[in-house]
């Protein structure tokens, strides 16, 4: 898995690029939390649930179904998030789904149960350039290879995409205002 900070950069980038009118700050924070939530499954280790179990690490919580569940739950709070139900669902769903999609690009683990509960098969991309983050915070902080990998394969593309989206959004807003 990429580090928890790297998971949060995806919705942060999209939210900042789209602007506060589309993604209000409260929705942005909720989506960042949703992008990190799938890794709460590491608690399963403490409960004796094996990594390979469908409820183990990178199992059900990394699926599109889990992302949809988080999106639906967020809809209950759409008003408090200062957004519409549809925008809330879509943005939180996309943020949570991005977690598993990023993890599929890592070089370690058993893969992602992307289509759980329809299938417990785990998937990776054919091209997996991201160094997997250790579960130990100290080891993650000490790994220059990990941070270089995430910088190159996630942060830099997010910054490029975010800047592009921001400029396009700003140009369209000027044109149609």
Give per-residue pLDDT as tens, 41-75.
989 988 999 999 999 999 999 999 999 999 999 99
Angle at alpha carbon of residue 7, lines to 93 and 28, rounded to 5°: 55
Number of domains comprising the chain? 1
d(CA 10, CA 36): 10
Domain ranges, residue 22:
4-175
- The first and second tokens of residue 19, run together, are 């602007």
- The first and second tokens of residue 112, run together, are 């992602």
61 phi, psi to nearest 5 deg:
-70, -10
Work out the number of other CB atoms within 10 angstroms of the CB of residue 81.
24
Give per-residue pLDDT as tens, 31-40.
999 999 999 9
């Amino acid at each position: 898995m990429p580090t928890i900070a790297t998971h949060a950069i995806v919705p942060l980038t999209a939210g900042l690029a789209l602007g506060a009118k589309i993604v209000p700050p409260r929705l942005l924070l909720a989506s960042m939390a949703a992008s990190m939530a799938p890794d709460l499954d590491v608690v399963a280790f403490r409960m004796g649930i094996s990594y390979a179990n469908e409820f183990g690490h990178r199992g059900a919580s990394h699926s599109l179904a889990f992302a949809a569940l988080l999106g639906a739950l967020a809809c209950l709070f759409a008003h408090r998030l200062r957004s519409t139900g549809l925008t809330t669902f879509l943005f939180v769903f996309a943020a949570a789904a991005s977690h598993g999609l990023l993890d599929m690009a890592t070089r370690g683990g058993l893969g992602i149960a992307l289509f759980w509960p329809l299938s417990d098969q785990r998937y990776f991309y054919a091209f997996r350039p991201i160094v997997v983050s250790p579960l130990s915070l100290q080891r993650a902080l000490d790994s220059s290879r990990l941070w270089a990998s995430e910088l190159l394969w996630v942060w830099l593309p997010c910054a490029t995409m975010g800047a592009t989206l921001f400029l396009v959004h700003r140009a369209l807003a000027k044109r149609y205002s």
